[in-house]
Structure 1
Amino acid sequence: MTGQNTRLGIVLMVATTFVFAVQDGISRHLAAEYNVLMVVMIRYWFFAAFVVALGLRATGGLRAAAATKQPGWQILRGLLLAAEICVMVTGFIFLGLVESHAVFTSYPLIIAALSGPLLGERVGWRRWVAIGIGFVGVVIILSPGSGVFSPLALIPLASSVLFALYGLLTRYVAQQDSAATSFFWTGVAGSVAMTCVGIWFWEPMAAPDWGWMATLCVTGALGHYLLIKCYEVAEASAVQPFAYLQLVFGAFIGIGVFGEVLRTNVLIGAVLVVAAGVFTLLRARSIAR
């Protein structure tokens, strides 16, 4: 039952973040060799097959999984997530895993900032202060005053905005639809959208890279499965702070595998962003209680 085993939930969240970090590393490798849209499209084909398989096993089958009174919002969610993945993988190519993840970790702060005007949720002054500190961290990471700022640094920030909008829409549709229904529409809508776009950029893939592509698809499905199980056994507010470990795992992969460098401003900015994000999560949890 939900909320009954926080320790197991934390273990599952840590495992989830590790799997997603590995997935990001593979995405960085493949996107450097092949078109991003094609890579994401193939990944979505497997994702769609995964959610359909889950729907077939669930009570009521696919009809129940797809049942929604708000298909427009569900489709928009799927499109936002697909666009976010494409933008983020593009960021991996130009900026690497370390800096892309450092900026992307600002998405909970964006969700908190937008939850008031878009969802009517109350955000107190403490969380506004934390949000402000977090965005100071983002500015430090982007280092616009250092003379080496590049517009490419805005790519992961755009990705975090898209993911924040996706997260807010997920909250909104959850008022009427189950998590299983939202998950189904995320995979199917994203797969259809990416096929319509990505099929035009198909290119031959070397045999070894098909192995990496298969691993990418499996890690994607495994990560989502672990995340589902995590939320089944523990409250989201209790385990969500541990999602920031994806930044740590991503940094290890970026530095150890791709030879990236952890710059001082990125480290300082990331610490501010993560600290502010954890505070907003814990504050929201406290208020909810």
Structure 2
Amino acid sequence: MTQQNNTRAGIALMIAATVVFALQDGISRHLAGTYNTYMVVMIRYWFFAAFVVAQALRAPGSIAATARTNQLGLQILRGVLLAGEICVAVYAFTILGLIESQAVFICYPLLVAALSGPVLGEKVGWRRWSAIGVGCIGVLIILQPGVGVFNPWAVIPLISALMFAIYGLLTRYAARRDTTATSFFWTGIAGAVAMTAVGVWFWEPMQGGDWLWMGLLCLTGVLGHWLLIKCYEMAEASAVQPFAYFHLMWSAILGISVFGESLRPTVVAGATLVIAAGLFTLWRERRQS
């Protein structure tokens, strides 16, 4: 992948990707509110697998070259973990809604920073630990475990964030020996196989109109990944990553205007702390690199 160092184009592509991913979350919430989550994610992965196979066929050496890896177990674990994370995240949308789920989920960069030491052997200084602590306070403000009756379902997006953080760390580890194309290929294939093994047992007849929504969900999934790939071709990850937080804003707009969700002041305050801590962590990473 050739780096073009066009930061403005990279930022525009990242913001476009967050719009697409927010739409994807909204469609997932709609479909998973009517049909089984496993079935919805399974069909989405079928399309994703077809996309990565098509990409591999166009690459030099075709599928054999793209799929070649000497850490197959790690690649399969990554793919299965991401598929499981998507199931947990979609389920959280149906229980808590888009706004509160995303407000908690955005703490995943802090979890990546916290786990990068024990998992990858990277150095985590006191400044990053301070940012992680601030982010944890923000998550606690959103969850409100000591105010009134604590809703245990609110932990679901936190589990999703932890799974995604581990997936991100495993992806970093895999990148030491495999190309991005290889990791991307196994993400789609392993996830599709895992979701098919589970999802076929939860198949439900789908109404004609909902097949259109399902098709749009599959298309937004592919479009979102394509936009991210092009984004990282255009600019450095550290320059565009802060704009990934636009995802929360689009999700909030969608949740309020389409699903009738409300924006609690504690969610705004907590999410602000989490985002500030995340941006500081990204800034520290960029300075050190």
Counterpart-to-counterpart distance in 1, 2:174 and 2:17: 24
Superimposed CA distance per residue, residues 52-94 of structure 1 (whole angstroms, 9 cap, x where no aligned partner): 0000011111011101110000000001100000000000000
- Please give the per-residue CA displacement for 1:240-278, whole angstroms capped at 9, x wherever unaligned: 111111011011000110000000111100000001001
Question: In structure 1, what is the equivalent of residue 61 of structure 2?
Answer: 60
Q: Deviations over 1:14-55 (max 9, x none)?
A: 000110000000000000000000000000000000000000
* 2-structure distance, mates of 1:138, 1:279: 16
- Name the amino acid aligned to 2:100: E
Which residue of the partner structure matches residue 229 of structure 1?
230
Instruction: Find the counterpart in structure 2 of residue 70 from structure 1.
Output: 71
Q: Equivalents in 2 of 1:8, 1:160: separation in Å? A: 28
Tell me, which stretches of 5 or more residues in structure 1 are unaligned? none
Runs of 4+ in 1 over 2 A off after TM superposition: none
| 2:131 corresponds to 1:161 | no
Match of residue 132 from structure 1: 133
- Could you tell me how far apart the structure 2 residues matched to 1:100 and 1:173 are? 28
For residues 17 and 181 of structure 1, what CA distance do their matches in structure 2 show? 24
Identity of aligned residues (%): 67
TM-score (norm 2): 0.99
Alignment of structure 1 residues 204-223 onto 2, 5 Å: 204-223=205-224
Per-residue Cα deviation, 1:178-206 (whole angstroms, up to 9, x for no partner): 00000000000000000000000001000
- Scaled by the length of structure 1, the TM-score of the pair is 0.99
1:18 equivalent to 2:19? Answer yes
Q: Distance in 1 between matches of 2:275 and 2:59?
A: 37
Counterpart position of 2:114:
113
Q: How many angstroms does 1:4 deviate by?
A: 1.4
The CA distance in 1 between the partners of 2:109 and 2:8, in whole Å, is 23
Q: Which residue of 2 aligns with 1:189?
A: 190
Alignment-mate amino acid for residue 48 of structure 1: A
Matching residue's letter, 1:180: A
Partner of 1:265: 266
2:150 counterpart residue number = 149
Question: 1:148 Cα deviation (Å)?
Answer: 2.9
Taking the TM superposition and a 5 Å limit, the aligned residue runs for 1:78-97 are 78-97=79-98
The 3-state SS of whatever aligns with 1:4 is: coil
Partner SS for 1:69: coil
Per-residue deviation, residues 140-182 of structure 1 (Å, max 9, x unmatched): 0001111131110000000000000000000000000000000
Task: Kindly indicate whether residue 100 of structure 2 is the aligned counterpart of residue 99 of structure 1.
Answer: yes
Distance (Å, rounded) in 1 between the aligned partners of 2:185 and 2:200: 22
Unpaired segments of 5 or more residues in structure 2?
none
Q: Which deviates more, 117-126 or 35-44?
A: 117-126
- 1:39 matched to which residue of 2? 40
- For 1:253, the equivalent position in structure 2 comes to 254
How far, CA to CA, are the matches of 2:229 and 2:68 in structure 1? 19
Match of 1:202 in 2: 203
Q: 1:105-134, CA deviations, whole angstroms, 9 ceiling, x for partnerless residues?
A: 000000000000110000111111000000
Aligned residues: 288
